[in-house]
Amino acid sequence: MNTRSPARPPSAQVPAVLVGLLVGGAAGFLLTETVGAFSAFVLGRALDVAGTGGVLLAVFVAVPLICAGLGAVIAVRRAGQNRRSHHRGR
């Protein structure tokens, strides 16, 4: 007896992936902006993106991208868990 739910078609996962990408990217953007604001207002020192040889710029680009990817993975997993929990009640 197979207790696993059938695999979801890829087209059913597209909305979860898009929402995860948007929410994760927004969270990453807010994270980088928070670090920049903290540095400017609390520490009194603005971040010099051009003066770091591109390292800081790469970090400020990579963080939202990584958060967007993580958001997509988390959204797809949560969507799969929610679907499985609905099938257990039958």
Q: What is the pLDDT of residues 30-86, one digit of tens each?
A: 999 999 999 999 989 888 888 877 888 899 999 999 999 999 999 998 887 766 665
3-state secondary structure of 35: helix
Rounded CA separation 80/10 (Å)? 12
Q: How far is CA 28 from the centre of its chain?
A: 7
Helix ranges restricted to H, the chain: 10-37, 55-88
Which pLDDT score, from 0 to 100, does residue 21 have? 95
Give exposure, 21-30, as e/b (b: 16+ Cβ within 10 Å): bebbbeebee
- Is residue 3 pLDDT above 70, yes or no? no
Is the full-model pTM beyond 0.85?
no
